[in-house]
Amino acid sequence: MSRGITHTDFIHVGDIVELLPTNNRNRQLRAQDKKLIWEVIKVDRPQCLNKRLGYFIEHKDGHTRWVDREEVLLLQPVTMRNRT
């Protein structure tokens, strides 16, 4: 059975994503630190996610972390960022 296409199938390096409140750490980052908007800097299947597809994201203050596909929402594709 096919799982279909989701927004996370289209996330690439350079895209802007919103960190969703899917777990306690994400809720803390969003509420206390106001870290909602992040940039994707790597798409991979890292050991820390048991080789599942994930995104290495960076906040504008330099904070980085790996997240699962279900933890982010695509806000702005890289192709739309530098248009004039």
**Which amino acid appears at position 81 of this protein?**
R
Q: Is residue 69 part of a domain?
A: yes
Q: Is residue 6 part of a domain?
A: no
Q: Is residue 4 part of a domain?
A: no
Q: Is residue 74 part of a domain?
A: yes
Dist. CA 45–CA 2, nearest whole Å: 21
Q: Is residue 33 part of a domain?
A: yes
Q: Is residue 84 part of a domain?
A: no
How many distinct structural domains can be found in the chain?
1
Predicted confidence (pLDDT) per residue in 22-70, tens digit: 999 999 999 999 999 999 999 999 999 999 999 999 999 999 999 999 9
The pair of three-digit structure tokens given for residue 8, joined into one six-digit string: 């996370």
Structural domain that includes position 73: 11-79
Could you tell me the CATH number of the domain that includes residue 52? 2.30.30
Predicted confidence (pLDDT) per residue in 1-20, tens digit: 444 445 556 899 999 999 99
Dist. CA 21–CA 15, nearest whole Å: 19
